[in-house]
Amino acid sequence: MFKNKMNQLFENQKSVHVLYSYDDSENYIRQAVNYIQNGIFAGDCVILIENDRLYPFIHNELKTLLTTDQMKMINRINNFDFYYSSGSYHPPAILHYFNKTVQPYLEKEISFRSWAHVEWSSMEDPLHLIEDFEKIVDNAVNQLSFPLI
């Protein structure tokens, strides 16, 4: 199995929050698939927050690499629904959605990781809202001890 620098970050520590910027969709899909596959092989469930345009490519690639049971370890959430659940990019609403999503994993002590696709270039919200949310996410990653890209 291919191990890149991004996945090596997670070998020794669980609390990691990585901003992965990309401009090549093929490489993005490859990185997402690799991260998810490594997580599944490590015994983690995966919360995949992805858009409708790229998800089918990621899903189809994963179907060739994972068993049916392993595919069930992936919880896909539409990224627009996740980030705009309140009708706008509102950090408290996003945090509420996130907490509701991870609660079953926490209650059952199930190890998880997340891949969350934020489409920054399409966002019209003030930069300070994004910065505020990133601080909230950093706190959650450290408090709950899970990796997030």
Inside any domain, residue 131? yes
Inside any domain, residue 11? no
How many domains in the chain?
Answer: 1
Inside any domain, residue 106? yes
For residues 83 and 98, give the distance between their C-alpha atoms in angstroms, rounded to a whole number. Answer: 10
pLDDT band at residue 104 using 50, 70 and 90 as cut-offs: very high
Which residues constitute the domain of residue 137?
35-148
Q: Exposed, middle or buried, 35 (CB in 10 Å: 0-12/13-18/19+)?
A: buried
DSSP secondary structure code for residue 84 in this structure: T
For residues 115 and 141, give the distance between their C-alpha atoms in angstroms, rounded to a whole number. Answer: 12
Inside any domain, residue 88? yes
Kindly give the residue spans of alpha helices, DSSP state H, lying in 23-90: 25-41, 55-65, 68-71, 79-83
In one-letter notation, the amino acid at residue 91 is P
User: What are the pLDDT digits (tens) for 24-55?
Assistant: 899 999 999 999 999 999 999 999 999 999 99
Inside any domain, residue 99? yes
User: What are the pLDDT digits (tens) for 50-95?
Assistant: 999 999 999 999 999 999 999 999 999 999 898 887 777 777 888 8
3-state secondary structure of 72: coil
In one-letter notation, the amino acid at residue 88 is S
CA 24 from chain center: how many Å? 18
